[in-house]
Structure 1
Amino acid sequence: MLKVNQYFDGKVASIALNTATLPATVGVMLPGEYTFGTQQFETMTVISGALTVLLPGAAQWQTFADGDSFTVAANQEFKVQVAADTAYFCTYGE
């Protein structure tokens, strides 16, 4: 069974699944600015569009586009700016 989640008044939606190796989500973010918290190590890959991200401890925002990935350790917060509809794939765990 797939689990669908919506956040930020429906501007972020994800579908949870189990890959062959790790739990994951695939989702979409509409334009806006969001703050996410992690419960475990995450690897996020942009499928389409771009995410401008302020990673924990970073002083400067970084932009990740189609095919780019970034990681965030467990129990951290990171900020995301989205200028256009963006799709992502995120795995959980190391």
Structure 2
Amino acid sequence: MPWFLYLIECADGSLYTGIATDVEARFVAHASGKGARYTRARKPVRVMASFELAGRSEALRAEYRVKRLTAQQKRALIAGDFSIGSLLPQTEASDEE
């Protein structure tokens, strides 16, 4: 089952990063106040981007790395200036090719 990393823009202009199997349903949860504490305190406005990943563990690794980016770097990721794959470590299989 694919997992997704998503970035939500909040009313104060900040970006929230999370993971889910259904981004639309997760956004609805955030918007209704049932999401993360961060989005309960700042009204979620829209999903800015979502990236499909192979599974939960890859999504968690991507989330960890994206959350450490600056807001400017996150906006560059959203704009497509670099890929989500460039943030993830290369797998052993990739190293052997």
After TM superposition, the score normalised by the length of structure 1 is 0.25
Give 1 or 2: higher strand fraction: 1
Bigger RCO of structures 1 and 2 (CA < 8 A, at least 6 apart)? 1
After TM superposition, the score normalised by the length of structure 2 is 0.25
Work out which of the two has the higher radius of gyration on C-alpha atoms and give 1 or 2: 2
Give 1 or 2: higher helix fraction: 2
